Amino acid sequence: VETYRVRVTRKHPLAPGVMEIGLERPSDFQMQAGQKIRFHHRGLARDYTLINAPDEDQLVICAIQVPQGNFSPGLMQSPLGTVYEISKPFGYFTFQVSVRTAVFLATGTGIAPFVAFVRAGVRDFILLQGARSDEHLYYWSEMMAAARTYVPCLTRTAEDLQLVPETFQGRVTGYLETRLPVAGYDFYLCGSGAMVDAATRIIDRRFAGSLVYGESFF
């Protein structure tokens, strides 16, 4: 089987322009946490990371609406029952067991693979989650509960500090540069290409001997 035809089974808004979308799971669908699927739709191909646990009975993605996008507006407005063609799961951005502390850096919907990791049972990690404001810290409570250290990094002043108890004012790369203790880590970077580039340069400079696994999506 190269592709599957699956129905939209659930839609759940997370924030303005951001939505969790559930899809029915084909019976022979085998996946690892952190893998993606590719939507094939009217000649377009779009990749989304699955955020469900590997053994869950549905597939779940976190979609952000790209203004004037060719695919995401239609996906997010599609009624329940709409059929999409998706690929088998693919990709190598999966969690690797290690004696070193894992440090996850996520911006925007780059949190998606880390949500999948947590739902697959990964614990005891450091997570730096970057967003403009606290309403875009998707899944923060679930992630904070699983992390050894959870650091929301906001580029705007937090509007509702009750949501997230302690924040770093600045980018995830700012925290990496100034706050994270120097040591050897396993870094997992997911978000914009600019963040992955900047973080990698800081890691090369401050965290020699660390491993770097990166996934950038724009």
Express the helix, strand and coil content of the chain in percent, nearest 5 each: 20, 35, 40
The piece of 92-100, 114-122, 132-140, 151-159 that touches other proteins (CB under 8 A) is 92-100
**Residue 79 CB burial class (10 angstroms; 0-12, 13-18, ≥19):** exposed
Q: Is residue 211 a contact residue for other proteins (CB under 8 A)?
A: yes
Selected from 74, 101, 200, 206, the binder of other proteins by CB under 8 A is: 200
Q: Is residue 124 a contact residue for other proteins (CB under 8 A)?
A: no
Q: Smallest distance from the beta carbon of 214 to other proteins, in angstroms?
A: 7
Q: What's the number of CA atoms in the CB half-sphere (13 Å) around residue 53? A: 8
- Residue with token string 């899809």: 23
Selected from 9, 65, 87, 94, the binder of other proteins by CB under 8 A is: 94
Q: Which of residues 137-196 bind other proteins (CB under 8 A)?
A: 186, 193, 196
Q: Is residue 97 a contact residue for other proteins (CB under 8 A)?
A: yes
Q: Is residue 217 a contact residue for other proteins (CB under 8 A)?
A: yes
Q: Which of residues 50-89 bind other proteins (CB under 8 A)?
A: none
Neighbouring CB atoms inside 10 A of 8's CB total 17
Selected from 70, 77, 98, 157, the binder of other proteins by CB under 8 A is: 98
Of the candidates 142, 139, 123, 120, the residue with the CA atom closest to the CA atom of residue 131: 139
Chain-centre distance for alpha carbon 129: 10
